[in-house]
Chain A
């Protein structure tokens, strides 16, 4: 209890108090550590495939590698094939098929991202047809209308064929490692591509030097046409 009060006081003191109240995330954090919080959520039952199918809304499951557990995000907007997935805490991940092109509310925003064509993450194709090289550019916040842009040359390296279960649904696919190098550094991504279509069901994608990697599983893919 003392710790809770202390944490509350500390956060309040740091933020200052206004008639606006506390930041919702801070409120949530305080609620989380406050054992007397009336509406403290109890651990719920795991989300099932049946529930997802019933909802019939494109869904991804995402987890920052620094986090313990993943979060489900559902498709909330489509802008020309850029699908915005949102969590209940309004964390946003923007994807073009399996290519992450933006994040909000995760800690360090990825403003936007682009890649050269063809990019098998953005346009599914059998792994055998994946290009030797894709150039990826990322835009991070900066003190200007245009963010700070970092560009990397990425090459793919095929791994073993294996089976992977994503929320009770088995997929047979191939692991593909992606090695990216640029003037500012290098990173690796890892993808699990459908054996038949090349659609990437799971990807460990880079969100930037500060945010690191995010593990995304496509639980129910978006199948509507781009608008």
Chain B
């Protein structure tokens, strides 16, 4: 047999059909995973109208819509932590009635929290949860409960609980907390504008009551049957002059069918009077819609031969350097990486790259390293790979070539490589070394066209808005730091007419948001000249001028200090802006304001939780602070909630009392089976009021820089060899 060595140049693709496999096919046998809890008509894990103590898988998100009689609820549930979940809800109750308006239909926002105290374990221990329903809204559904659930056999779960407030509507008993204080027997029912935690009503009221039920996952795949005893009296829903709901029984019955993974529909017979339904769409950041990765593998690499020439003479030959650099650039282009600059420093080369394809930065670093390993002459012992994002040189990853070679294809190479690479803030110092710069790098034009779905809940006057825009963005980059950016958005569906001027008593800085997005015409979202720069290896800056966002134009400046190895950073921004006219692409109104903030950012390292605190002057001229808590997932998913308190009074602010909302960012890579770095942000809730409103500037420095820090790199370093 001849002595065969591998060769670097691959044979052309050779696909051939062969006879069927003679060997048998065997499958991986695994214990069946515990089924995901079902969703009740309030969007929580639960029975039908009552909750259970079960928790969804960590990170699970569920959008659901339920309806029976004249009551309709749309809700978003998020499993914030393994034992903590939250639900945002927008409900409509027909024929609610008011003295001055018998036909009044109630539109109501509410917010729930559930905390699991005990987990269901084999033996006798049930799961036990403490829940707060509508603890932040106007209190229509306000109630607290302590509930236990037990999976008595694999297909049957039994639930029982005790509740206060709304859960103590029928067949109650004296509230045991009344024994502690008489004050616990009175429940505050004056909710004002809503939006504030109602500590004055937790576990209070004259009565508490029991509820419970059973859930059976039938042998028929996907079919679940439920029965429950509800302690909710639905008193107010029956008292309106035109109400026709008549609660005849405390018992509810239902059947749910899981159509496919993530989609469940249910039909119910409610309170002996009405038929109801529920549809729930569910997904999990940790479980991509298309888990497969159909992208090509990395280029195979091997260690330098022992007898490889180690001369450095080529570095002194500009023609050789250029030929080599051009070839490396072409090879990286194929990998979706733009090689922008190489600095030759003897046995060290500094390369500056831009990741243009991969959702995870370490994958881009790994692919670039492979190209360098194949192409760089043997005397080069160290690769310094610097990543550019939006014109900023962010982090430099130092790779020892010999270490790298010892890790290729080996067991546990991810950890070994992480242990041997160095990370530092990028700071270019060519110091007279030869530099290759990509030819014709600037001016350059980058563009993207992305479908941009949006879902807005909790907007005053409109409970839910779903739509799709087609967003086009073009960047004309004049140099690494200087660029012009233009964004245009074309509504595709979900369009609506101008709702008219806001009645807010504050400057209408956000309460007219709907006007800015009404109609079917394309909109100029931004048109700016931007300059980004670094002051030192840990400090970033930017200045932007022009039409900064859909509603404001002006000049914006920002600075951020964020060392790569540090879990926190500090920033400051200052802007002078004028409000844009909603119906003229380039027109401006008379309203202008100086706005600015000091910001502190902290990556807690705990379940991907990030905290941001901003304090300063808002668009309406009000002073205050915003707290944002975001859970970020390694694959780019992020779910964040924010709350802003300013010197604007709750009365001036209007419904909701203060600004708060939820944002979700979804990486496209989660939905498609190949690499893309595109991401989409969905605004789930935003009460567009004027108090506590901030500029919505693209490319905040923190958002640009954070995914290049040590924590994010470590999260995704497993992809370095992928």
Partner of B6, one of A13, A61, A78, A206: A78
Distance from B410 Cβ to chain A, minimum over Cβ atoms (Å): 7
- List chain A positions with a Cβ less than 8 A from chain B: 11, 13-20, 23-26, 29, 44, 46-47, 55-59, 61, 63, 65, 68-72, 74-80, 82-84, 86-92, 94, 101-102, 104-105, 107-109, 111-114, 137, 139, 141-147, 164, 184-190, 192, 202, 204, 206, 209-210, 212-213, 215, 220-224, 227
> In the assembled complex, how far is the CB of residue A46 from the closest CB belonging to chain B, in whole angstroms?
5
Given A47-B16, A107-B292, A15:B672 Cβ within 8 A = yes
B-side contacts of A13, CB under 8 Å: 451
Min CB gap A5→B, angstroms: 17
In chain B between 335 and 357, which residues have their CB closer than 8 angstroms to a CB of chain A?
336, 356-357
Question: How far is it, in angstroms, between the C-alpha of A102 and the C-alpha of B297 when the chains are bound?
Answer: 11
15 residue pairs bridging A and B, Cβ less than 8 Å apart: A14-B668, A14-B671, A18-B447, A29-B294, A55-B11, A58-B6, A69-B15, A74-B6, A82-B410, A101-B409, A104-B722, A108-B291, A146-B412, A185-B29, A187-B29
User: Is B43 located at the chain interface by the 8 A CB criterion?
Assistant: no
Tell me, yes or no, whether B23 is within 8 Å of chain A by CB: yes
Beyond known contacts A144-B715, A190-B24, A227-B302: 13 more, CB 8 A cutoff? A11-B672, A16-B678, A20-B357, A23-B294, A46-B16, A57-B6, A70-B16, A70-B18, A77-B409, A144-B718, A185-B31, A186-B29, A215-B23
Residues of B within 8 A of A210 (CB): 291
Chain B residues, Cβ within 8 Å of A92: 297-298, 300
User: Taking the nearest CB of chain A, how far is it from the CB of B440, in angstroms?
Assistant: 14
Residues of B within 8 A of A86 (CB): 10, 297, 300
Closest 5 CB pairs of A and B: A88-B13, A105-B297, A104-B297, A145-B418, A75-B6
Nearest residue, chain B, Cβ from A22? B674
Chain B residues within 8 Å of A94, by CB:
409
B296 engages A25 (CB within 8 Å): yes
With both chains docked as a complex, state the minimum distance between the C-beta of B305 and any C-beta of chain A, in angstroms.
8
B291 and A213: CB pair below 8 A?
no
Produce 1/0 per residue, B4-41, CB < 8 A to A.
Answer: 11111011111111100111111111110000000000
**In the docked arrangement, what's the CA distance between A78 and B303, Å?**
8
Nearest Cβ in chain A — how far from B633, in angstroms?
A: 8
Is the pair B30, A77 in contact by a Cβ cutoff of 8 Å?
no
Q: Which residue on B lies nearest to A105, using beta carbons? A: B297
Residues of A with C-beta under 8 A to B412: 112, 139, 146
Q: Which bracket fits the contact residues of B?
A: 35 or more
CB of B124 within 8 Å of the partner chain = no
Contacts of A104 in B (CB 8 A): 297-298, 722
Q: Does B118 contact A (CB under 8 A)?
A: no
Q: Is the CB of B605 closer than 8 A to any CB of chain A? A: no
B405 to chain A, nearest CB (A): 8
Cβ of A65 to closest chain B Cβ, rounded Å: 5
B294 touches A25 (CB 8 A): yes
In the bound complex, CA of A192 to CA of B30 (Å): 26
Return the CB mask of B674-716 against A: 1 if under 8 Å, else 0.
1110100000000000000000000000000000000000111
Of the candidates B7, B10, B300, B415, the one whose C-beta lies within 8 Å of that of A145 is B415
Q: Once the chains bind, are B675 and A23 in contact (CB under 8 Å)? A: yes
Q: Which of B21, B31, B635 has the most CB of A within 10 A?
A: B21
| A179 CB to nearest chain B CB (Å) | 9
Residues in B with CB closer than 8 Å to A189 are 26
Contact A222 B410 (CB under 8 A): no
- Please measure, in the bound complex, the distance between the C-alpha atom of A192 and the C-alpha atom of B299, giving whole angstroms: 30
Min CB gap A110→B, angstroms: 11
Q: Collect the chain A residues with CB atoms within 8 Å of residue B447's CB.
A: 18-19
Q: Which among B302, B357, B418, B668 has the greatest number of chain A C-beta atoms within 10 A?
A: B302
| B676 touches which of A16, A71, A206 (Cβ 8 Å) | A16
Task: Give min CB distance, A97 to chain B, whole Å.
Answer: 13
Could you mark each residue 495-531 of chain B with 1 if its beta carbon is under 8 Å from any beta carbon of chain A, else 0?
Answer: 0000000000000000000000000000000000000
Residues of A within 8 A of B405 (CB): 79
* Interchain CB contact under 8 A, A227 and B356: no
Does chain A have a CB within 8 A of B301? yes
Q: How many A-B residue pairs have CB under 8 A?
A: 264
Specify which chain A residues have a CB less than 8 angstroms from the CB of B418 in the assembled complex. Answer: 145-146
Closest residue of B by beta carbon distance from A109: B722
Cα distance A75–B721 when bound, in Å? 18
Check: B425 CB closer than 8 A to any chain A CB: no
The yes or no answer to B1 lying at the interface (CB within 8 A) is: yes
Kindly identify, within residues 274 to 318 of chain B, every residue whose CB is under 8 Å from any CB belonging to chain A. Answer: 291-303, 305
Q: Give the CA-CA distance A192 to B413 in the complex, in Å.
A: 30
What are the residues of chain A within 8 A of B409 when measuring CB–CB?
77, 79-80, 82, 84, 94, 101-102, 112
Q: How far is the CB of B434 from chain A (nearest CB, A)?
A: 29
A65 to B302, CA, bound (A): 29
**Does B449 belong to the interface (CB within 8 Å)?**
yes
CB distance from A72 to the nearest CB of B (A): 4
Contacts of B13 in A (CB 8 A): 71, 87-89
Chain B residues near A222 (CB, 8 Å)? 4, 6
Residues of B within 8 A of A55 (CB): 11
A105 to B717, CA, bound (A): 18
Is the Cβ of A223 less than 8 Å from the Cβ of B3? yes
Contacts of B266 in A (CB 8 A): none
- CB pair B674 A224 closer than 8 Å: no
* A109 and B293 contact, CB distance less than 8 A: yes
Chain B proximity of A117: nearest CB distance (Å): 13
CA distance A194 to B298 in the complex (A): 33
Cβ < 8 Å to A, chain B residues 393-409:
405, 408-409
Least CB distance, A227 to chain B, in whole angstroms = 7
- Known contacts: A104-B297, A104-B722. The answer to whether A84 contacts B16 by CB under 8 A is no
**Which residue of A has the minimal Cβ distance to B475?**
A19
Q: Which of A25, A164, A189 has the most CB of B within 10 A?
A: A25
* A78/B302 in contact, CB under 8 A: yes
Complex CA gap A141/B634 in Å reads 12
Residue contact A143 to B672, C-beta cutoff 8 Å: no
- Tell yes or no: B417 within 8 A of A by CB: yes
- B2 CB–A CB distance under 8 Å: yes
Find chain A residues with CB under 8 A from B293 CB.
105, 107-109
Which residues of chain A have C-beta atoms less than 8 A from B303's C-beta?
79, 227
Closest A residue to B25 by beta carbon equals A65
Pairwise interchain contact B301-A209, C-beta atoms closer than 8 A? no
Given contacts A63-B21, A72-B14, A209-B28, contact A16 B668 (CB under 8 A): yes
Q: Which of B7, B11, B30, B716 contacts A185, CB < 8 Å?
A: B30
B643 CB within 8 Å of chain A:
no
Nearest chain A residue, comparing its CB with the CB of B374? A77
Let me know if A77 and B17 touch, CB within 8 A: no
Considering the chains assembled together, what is the distance between the CA atoms of A114 and B410 in angstroms? Answer: 9
